[in-house]
Amino acid sequence: MNGKAPIRVLVVDDHEVVRRGLSFALAAHEDLLLAGEAADGQEALEACAAAQPDVILMDIQMPRMNGIEAARLIRQQHPQVRIIALTTFSDEETVRDMLQAGCSGYLLKTTTMNELASAIRLAISGQLTLSAEAVQTLLYPTPAAPQPAEPAVSFHLTERELEVLRWMVEGLNNAEIAAQLVVSRSTVKFHVSSILAKMNVSSRVDAVRLALQSGLAG
């Protein structure tokens, strides 16, 4: 622990057995602390105000208020709180809706507890975690109506910047991107800074989220 306060986690799911299981699993990690539980989106709003968690594990399909609406309202009222969607759904619309609501992660309930614990820690550090299924859904969506050849928003990124951005979506850091492109880390850092400026965002997480939403990562 090194004297650091544990990460306070709020578990939101309409199935008690899921909440109990997650609560038990969190106890196995000394840097994670169960801050409370909620059975639906409305309870999540109330529990968030009362328990002041650092991270929320949010189910999506719930009575009274679903996870998408709850995530949107919580991020508006408590912007410091990170939210990770934990669900059985990986369809394109649901993934995009949760990301647009401000989630810092999207994982399926089949994920291991170690993977979930890692996502919680990454969310605190400002990083986005997506399940492989969510990434596949966003990068290769089910064919729909014909779309324009060019994305609706291009942000005037160069071909190399688009290439760097796509590696960012895959979760690579600057050193790993540099190895893929056979360039220096400083070159990658320059491209990342340019990407953030052109997309008018302040972090890699926001750039990745915007790229996925606007279709630039395809």
pLDDT per position in the chain (218 positions), as tens?
556 899 999 999 999 999 999 999 999 999 999 999 999 999 999 999 999 999 999 999 998 899 999 999 999 999 999 999 999 888 888 898 999 999 999 999 999 999 999 999 999 998 999 998 888 887 776 655 555 444 446 788 888 898 999 899 888 999 999 999 888 999 999 999 999 999 989 888 888 888 888 777 65
Can you give the pTM of this predicted structure? 0.66
- φ, ψ of residue 85 to 5 degrees: the values are -75, 130
Which CATH number fits the domain 7-139, given the four candidates 3.20.20.330, 3.40.1360.10, 3.30.465.10, 3.40.50.2300?
Answer: 3.40.50.2300
**Start and end residues for every CATH 3.40.50.2300 domain found in the chain:** 7-139
Question: In the prediction, which pLDDT does 206 show?
Answer: 87
Question: In the prediction, which pLDDT does 154 show?
Answer: 72
Q: Three-state SS for 86?
A: strand
For residue 39, give the DSSP letter: S
Residue type, 198: K
Question: In the prediction, which pLDDT does 141 show?
Answer: 66
Question: In the prediction, which pLDDT does 62 show?
Answer: 92
How far apart are alpha carbons 84 and 119 in whole angstroms? Answer: 8
For residue 159, give the DSSP letter: H
Question: In the prediction, which pLDDT does 138 show?
Answer: 79
CATH hierarchy code of domain 159-214? 1.10.10.10
**Start and end residues for every CATH 1.10.10.10 domain found in the chain:** 159-214
Question: In the prediction, which pLDDT does 3 show?
Answer: 64
Question: In the prediction, which pLDDT does 144 show?
Answer: 52
Question: In the prediction, which pLDDT does 149 show?
Answer: 45
Q: What is the 3-state secondary structure (H, E, C) of 88-149?
A: CCCCHHHHHHHHHCCCCEEEECCCCHHHHHHHHHHHHCCCCEECHHHHHHHHCCCCCCCCCC
Question: In the prediction, which pLDDT does 8 show?
Answer: 97
How far apart are alpha carbons 129 and 199 in whole angstroms? Answer: 20
Residue partners of 108: CB distance under 8 A and separation at least 6: 86, 87, 88, 90, 131, 133, 134
Question: In the prediction, which pLDDT does 21 show?
Answer: 92
Angle ∠(147,128,8) on CA atoms, nearest 5: 140
